[in-house]
Amino acid sequence: MNDKYLTIEYLRFICIGAVVLLHAVGAPVEGRDIISWRYGIYDIIRIFFSEGICRVAVPTLFLISGFLFFTRLEKWSADIWANKLKRRAKTLILPYFIWNLLSIVFSLLMLYLIFALRGGDVPIMATWYNQIGGLRAFWDSGIGGQPINYPLWYVRDLIVFVILAPLVFYSCKITGSGGLLFLYIAYLFHTWKDLPGLSMEGFFFFTFGAFLKIRSINISYFFKKRFIIVTCLAIPTVLIMVFTYGNNNVAYRYAYRLFTLFGSSSIIGFVTLLVQKQKINIHPILLKSSFFVYASHIMVLPYVLISLGNYLPSNQIGLIIKYFLAPIITVIILIVCYYYANKWIPKTLSVLTGGRE
C-alpha cells in the first residue's frame, strides 16, 4: 500500500477514535446550565477535545470519502458512477439501515431492562416508537436532524453525496477552485439551512476531496506542503473555540467553521508526515474494526460513562478520568467484540461492516 492510501487508512482510525471521544463530552455538571471554560479545568479539557480538535474528524472523513469516490472518475463515466453506486449499496446503504435497526432494538431492550430492574410501568412499544419518530428514526429522528444511531448522520449524508456525484463532478470541472472557494464561503456564513442528508459541512468537504481527485492533485503532497501554515492558523482558532463555547455561540460557530478547514488540513498533513517518516504503525485489527467501532460505539459509551460514574469521585479529577477512560474502555470492548465476531460469525460481520476487511 502506497503512502497516500496508508495515510487514508490511518486517518480513518484516528478520526473514528476522535468521534468516540467527541461523544464522551456529556452534559453540563449538575447545577450548571452550560459547559464553559469558566467552570474549571474539566470543562476546559472537554471543550478543547470534544468541542474543539475532535470536531475535525467528520469533515476529514468527508474529504477523504470524496477523494476516494472519484478514483477512476477523473473523467466522467456514467457506467463507472453506476457501478460505484451499486457498490455503495453494500458498503453504505445496507450497513446504515441495519445499524439503525440494531440501535432501535438495543434501545428498546435496555428500556425494558431498566424498567424490570427499577420497577414501574412497562413502556408501550407503539408509544415509544412514535416518540423516536417512527420510520423517520432511520433518517431523521427529530433529534437535531439525525438518525436514531446519530453518529451515522455522516453515512446518511455520504449516501446522498454519492448520488449527487454528477453535480459535484461538473461543478468542480466548470467552476474550478473559484467554485470551491465560493462553496466554502457559503459554508462559513451558513447561507442555507442544513437538511437531513444534505449538510453544508459534509457537502463542502466531500466536494473538496472530489476536487483534489478530479484535478489529479496528490492529496498527501497537497496537505503536507501546507502543514505548517494551516497548523499555525488552526491553533489560535481552536483556542477561540474554547473561550467562546457556551459564552458566545455566534463567535464559536464561525471559529468552528474556520477550524474544520484548518484542522482537517493540518491532521492530514501531520499523518502524511508520520507515514512518510515511518513514525506511525497502527495494528491491522484496529484499522479493520474502525467502522464497527464507529457504528456501534453509541450503544456502549453511555453505559460505560454511567458505570464509571458509580466508581469515580465526582470532583474535577474524577470527571476528567472518566472523560478519557470511558472512550478507551468502549473502544477496547468493541475491538474485542469485533475480533470474536470475525472468528465466529465472519459473514454476518461482513454485512454489518459493508464488506470492509
Residues 247 and 292 in one domain: no
Grid cell of 165 as nine digits: 456525484
Residue 351 lies in a domain: yes
Single residue among 215, 246, 279 that ends a domain in this structure: 279
Residues 293 and 197 in one domain: no
Residues 221 and 335 in one domain: no
Residue 26 lies in a domain: no
Average pLDDT of the chain to the nearest whole number: 92
**Single pTM value for the model:** 0.95
Q: Is the pLDDT of residue 182 over 80?
A: yes
Q: Is the pLDDT of residue 288 over 80?
A: yes
Single residue among 260, 279, 298 that ends a domain in this structure: 279
Residues 169 and 133 in one domain: yes
Residues 317 and 270 in one domain: no
pLDDT on residue 142: 62
Question: For residues 158 and 185, what is the distance between their CA atoms, to the nearest angstrom?
Answer: 21
Contact 69, 84 (CB under 8 A): yes
Residue 275 lies in a domain: yes
Number of domains composing the chain: 2
Residues 257 and 306 in one domain: no
Grid cell of 30 as nine digits: 449538575
Q: Is the pLDDT of residue 344 over 90?
A: yes
pLDDT tens for each residue of 225-272: 999 999 999 999 999 999 999 999 999 999 999 999 999 999 999 999
Residue 33 lies in a domain: no
Non-local CB neighbours of 235 within 8 Å, separated by 6+ positions: none
pLDDT tens for each residue of 27-67: 888 778 899 999 999 999 999 999 999 999 999 999 999 99
Residues 267 and 295 in one domain: no
Residues 263 and 150 in one domain: yes
The parent domain of residue 339 ranges over: 283-357
Residue 30 lies in a domain: no
Question: For residues 145 and 256, what is the distance between their CA atoms, to the nearest angstrom?
Answer: 19
pLDDT on residue 115: 75
Single residue among 279, 311, 343 that ends a domain in this structure: 279
Residue 218 lies in a domain: yes
Contact 221, 31 (CB under 8 A): no
The percentage of residues in the chain with a pLDDT greater than 70, rounded to a whole number, is 96
Residues 274 and 291 in one domain: no
Residue 32 lies in a domain: no
Residues 305 and 161 in one domain: no
pLDDT on residue 291: 96
Q: If you search the block for the grid coordinates 414501574, which residue do you land on?
A: 120
Residue 247 lies in a domain: yes
Residues 198 and 303 in one domain: no
Residues 137 and 253 in one domain: yes
